[in-house]
Amino acid sequence: MKWPTVLVCLSAVFMVGIMVQALRQEMSLHNAKLRMVHNTAEIKRKEEAILEVKGKIEKLKISLGDVDQKTNDIKAKKDGIVKSTQESETRLQTCNKEKARHTQTNKQTHTNQFLFHPQTQLSNHGEAKKKAEEDIQKLKQQILDRDKAVCAIADTTVEEAR
């Protein structure tokens, strides 16, 4: 009877061992399921955060595109203004050179005329003086005629009109 008792005891020990192993595996599976649920929830949160960041990045790209466009427009305007300023400066320098040349030519011409034809200058001066005196006389006559017309219209009985 020894052998069957030993065999029953050994069988009982093996069964207890198998039950313990099964219980450990169940606990291990339960923990794995809990970790998987926790990890899945964390992954979903991270995915939502990633999607939110992607949305923000898209908005920033759009606003950056607008800013780039404005920057390019401003650069183009600046280049146009610089080019216009350079053209204006070039035209101004050309005009000043032309004016200086013209002034120099006129000075030389007037100097030459005065040096080589002094009588012409003096006679022109006399003619201009006579013409100016005639103009002055005409203006004086016009003023007198106007005053006479005003006096004829004005009432002489009123003190202000006299």
Q: Identity (one letter) of the amino acid at 149? A: A
pLDDT at 5 over 70: yes
Q: Is the Cβ–Cβ distance between 121 and 114 less than 8 Å? A: yes
Q: How confident is the model at residue 100 (pLDDT cuts 50, 70, 90)?
A: confident
pLDDT at 12 over 90: yes
Q: d(Cα 18, Cα 29) in Å, to the nearest integer?
A: 16
Overall average pLDDT of the 132-141 stretch: 92
- Rounded to two decimals, what is the model's pTM? 0.40
Q: In the chain, where are the structural domains located? A: 124-162
Overall average pLDDT of the 68-80 stretch: 93
